[in-house]
């Protein structure tokens, strides 16, 4: 018998440093008005020199475990969605597994860029569904600032750093909440539209090679809207629902215009679309779990609500799923979130 997985805890971590649009005006030829009108972003967080995807992910995981009231020694699976690992190996998830004190957990990373969290939670759901795991920590965690070309005004204004996490547990009979209809898609023929180089890239291999993000923004915009609208429709139908049944959509926070166009195609009112990209920018795989944590904190998610998640990223890869929200405690705020941010 297949066991349902449900979210029982959420958490997030955001670096203290804020990089505003006004700060970017002093770094590259751009303007606050240009950025806001084309993306909806006002500011983003930037990791400190000592912070990494694993250190931020560990903070988010601790908050999610506290929210779920789960002892980390009971965790038997850690999966991190990330495209900005601390290094080539070991996995970011392995570093997080050690940092949070989960000695019995298997750990590995999933890299499908901005679609990484949905890929990770889909994978963890299968582990729980087969009985191979009972408690999983699933993360999206990124230090995008370290793969940006800060002289490229078309990309450096878009991204930020941060981490989000959820705890997934096997649902007991009669308990509310489950992950429904996870769908994932990919089209490698369009990989050149959004990618990052690295030390294994032909022609620049070696320890001196630098990772750099490359994106054709207009082409990605067109692909993202159509792909997300289609897969959201498929996920809603697979769950036996209609758009009217969706209490809240928590999408990947890439661009306000992408989100508005996708919602319009779905026939979903914008008041039922959660957005925080104005404050954090695009944190790649971390956007959805950060947004879920905030939506939960703000009371936007109630037990029994049907929640739609969707993302689009490099690969090209995209996905969608419907959750029945189980109701979780407010996660403990990390030091950086609680203390507020210091302007850069």
- 71 and 203 fall within a common domain: no
Running DSSP on this structure, what letter comes out for residue 144? G
List the pLDDT tens digit at each of the 344 positions of the chain. Answer: 568 999 999 999 999 999 999 999 999 999 999 999 999 999 999 999 999 999 999 999 999 999 999 999 999 999 999 999 999 999 999 999 999 999 999 999 999 999 999 999 999 999 999 999 999 999 999 999 999 999 999 999 999 999 999 999 998 888 889 999 899 999 999 999 999 998 888 887 666 678 899 999 999 999 999 999 999 999 999 999 999 999 999 999 999 999 999 999 999 999 999 999 999 999 999 999 999 999 999 999 999 999 999 999 999 999 999 999 998 866 544 545 544 443 44
DSSP three-state, residue 84? coil
How buried is residue 297: exposed, middle or buried, by Cβ count under 10 Å (0-12/13-18/19+)? middle
DSSP three-state, residue 332? coil
Q: Is residue 27 part of a domain?
A: yes
The CATH number linked to 185 is: 3.40.47.10
- DSSP element (H, E) containing 201: none
Distance CA 181, CA 90 (A): 31
Q: Is residue 217 part of a domain?
A: yes
In the prediction, which pLDDT does 176 show? 83
Residues 297, 300, 303, 308, Cα dihedral to 10° = -110
- 118 and 192 fall within a common domain: no
Q: Is residue 331 part of a domain?
A: no
Active-site pick, 111, 135, 252, 255: 252
- Listed in sequence order, the DSSP H helices in 195-246 are 217-238
In the prediction, which pLDDT does 201 show? 86
pTM score above 0.85:
yes
- 86 and 98 fall within a common domain: yes
- 58 and 201 fall within a common domain: no
111 given a catalytic annotation:
no
50 given a catalytic annotation:
no
- 48 and 189 fall within a common domain: no
Q: Is residue 340 part of a domain?
A: no
200 given a catalytic annotation:
no
**Count: domains in the chain:** 2
Strands 317-324 and 306-313, by their bridges, are antiparallel
Q: Is residue 336 part of a domain?
A: no
Distance CA 287, CA 275 (A): 10
Q: Is residue 334 part of a domain?
A: no
* 238 and 181 Cβ atoms separated by less than 8 Å: yes
- DSSP element (H, E) containing 26: none
- 157 and 192 fall within a common domain: no
Which is it for the CA torsion 20, 21, 22, 23, positive or negative?
positive
Active-site pick, 114, 156, 232, 249: 114
- 167 and 18 fall within a common domain: yes
Can you give the residue range of the structural domain that contains 230? 178-324
């Amino acid at each position: 018998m297949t066991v349902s997985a449900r979210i029982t805890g959420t958490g997030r971590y955001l670096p203290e440093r804020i990089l505003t649009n006004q700060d970017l005006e002093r770094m590259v030829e751009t303007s606050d008005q240009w950025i806001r009108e084309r993306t909806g972003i006002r500011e983003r967080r930037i990791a400190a020199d000592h912070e990494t995807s694993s250190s931020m992910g560990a903070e988010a995981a601790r908050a999610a475990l506290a929210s779920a009231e789960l002892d980390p020694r009971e965790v038997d699976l850690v999966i991190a969605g990330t495209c900005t690992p601390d290094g080539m190996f070991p996995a970011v998830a392995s570093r997080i597994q050690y940092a949070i004190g989960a000695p019995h957990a298997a750990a590995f990373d999933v890299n499908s860029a901005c679609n990484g969290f949905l890929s990770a939670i889909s994978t963890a759901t299968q582990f729980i569904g087969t009985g191979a795991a009972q408690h999983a920590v699933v993360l999206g965690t990124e230090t995008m600032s370290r793969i940006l070309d800060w002289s490229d005004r078309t990309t450096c204004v878009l991204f930020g750093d941060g981490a989000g996490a959820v705890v997934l547990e096997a649902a007991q009979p009669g308990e509310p909440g489950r992950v429904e209809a996870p769908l994932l898609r990919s089209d490698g023929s369009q990989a050149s539209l959004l990618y990052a180089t690295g030390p294994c890239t032909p022609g620049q291999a070696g320890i001196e090679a630098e990772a750099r993000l490359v994106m054709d923004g207009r082409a990605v915009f067109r692909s993202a809207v159509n792909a997300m609208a289609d897969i959201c429709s498929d996920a809603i139908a697979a769950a036996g629902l209609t758009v009217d049944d969706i209490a809240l959509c928590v999408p990947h926070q890439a661009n306000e215009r992408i989100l508005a166009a996708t919602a319009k195609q779905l026939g979903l009112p914008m008041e039922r679309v959660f957005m925080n990209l104005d404050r954090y920018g695009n944190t790649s795989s971390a956007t959805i779990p950060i947004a879920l944590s905030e939506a939960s904190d703000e009371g936007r998610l109630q037990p029994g609500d049907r929640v739609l998640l969707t993302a689009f990223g490099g690969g090209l890869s995209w996905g969608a799923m419907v959750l029945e929200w189980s109701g979780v405690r407010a996660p403990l705020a990390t030091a950086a979130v609680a203390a507020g941010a210091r302007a850069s």
